[in-house]
Amino acid sequence: MNKALLTTTITLFLLFSGLAQAASSEVNVYSSRKEALVKPLLDEFTAETGIKVNLVTGKDDALITRLQKEGKRSPADLLITADAGRLYRAKQANLLQVINSDAVNSNVPAHLRDAENYWVGLTMRARPIFYVKEKVQASELSTYEALTASKWAGRICIRSSSNIYNQSLIASVIAADGETAAEAFVAGLVKNFARPPAGGDTDQLKAAAAGMCDIAIANTYYFGRLATSNKAQDQQVVNKLGVFWPNQQGRGTHVNVSGIGITQAAKNVPAATQLIEFMLTQQAQTWYAEVNNEYPVVTGVAPSATLTSWGEFKADATNLTKLGELNRRAVEVMDRAGWK
């Protein structure tokens, strides 16, 4: 075999070996998001790239524990959780590695990413105040902190302190105003509860619509799910409630993200990175907005018509890494205030 033919043969071998490797690539995803809220996108990624995605779903803490037990032998390449606080826990447990991607860094605002790029937000949701329109005027509302006023005694529904969305909300108050002010806020809020915390965010919205309270604090995508439901009883809930964006003259309304990180044990980092970048494309971000009723994290991608109907708002731009850093102090503050 002459030198030119040998070179051509080697080149073709390397080319086809590479293609074969790419075609057989697989990415394993551990996700706390329900299958319906993520699998359609994963299937689309596979259709576009030929990279198979294997999905395991479960509770956030259970998946983090599983990663810890599996250690370096874990098959997981990616971890998806429903909030920044648990991504922080995964990072602190040394379960994630840095995401090296210019596309990620340029597409997602810095406050919606880990300060050291160990995770990145995929979708954003806000935690505003929902009010019963027949009993409360929007002009009566202003900030989260104003809900401690005596006029709201016995009128507020919110889920328990064990819920990480509430822990992150209080962490954001600590970040903004300090622990002493946060403790005074939580004590005043608890004093005004309409009932002992029970149920999830949707339960708070339904309780308000049913007359059990006049104010509910919940994440926007729960309200969006009701707003896009075909069930008459869900529409009745939505029609009774208004959305109020608190703290617009100050730090802005509290927001959180669902997010993703590459595991420390990942066997296929390039494909895992490619999947993250895919989930941040305009196509994927639009899907999230339309199907999940969540706000895009990529600048320039429009929210869905449902989200737009609630109006624009100023979001708290505190780096969400703070929510994880201050989680323990938030829980302690809530415990001292008697928030069950």
Distances, alpha carbon 182 to alpha carbons 174, 199, 314, in Å: 5, 24, 21
Residue 221 in marked binding region: yes
305: tokens are 């018509």
Interhelix angle 269-279/39-49, rounded to 10 degrees, is 120
Question: Distance between CA 149 and CA 185 in Å, rounded?
Answer: 10
Residue 332: phi and psi, rounded to 5, are: -65, -40
Spatial CB neighbours of 45, under 8 Å, sequence gap ≥ 6: 51, 53, 275, 278, 279
143: tokens are 């900030």
70: tokens are 């599996």
Contact 120, 277 (CB under 8 A): no
Contact 168, 328 (CB under 8 A): no
Question: Distance between CA 132 and CA 115 in Å, rounded?
Answer: 38
Residue 110: phi and psi, rounded to 5, are: -60, -35
Place of tokens 């302690």: 332
Q: DSSP states of 120-157 as a string? A: EEEEEEE--EEEETTT--GGG---SGGGGSGGGTT-EE
Question: Distance between CA 262 and CA 273 in Å, rounded?
Answer: 8
Question: Distance between CA 147 and CA 140 in Å, rounded?
Answer: 10
Residue 165 in marked binding region: no
Annotated binding site for Fe cation: 221-222
Annotated binding site: 221-222
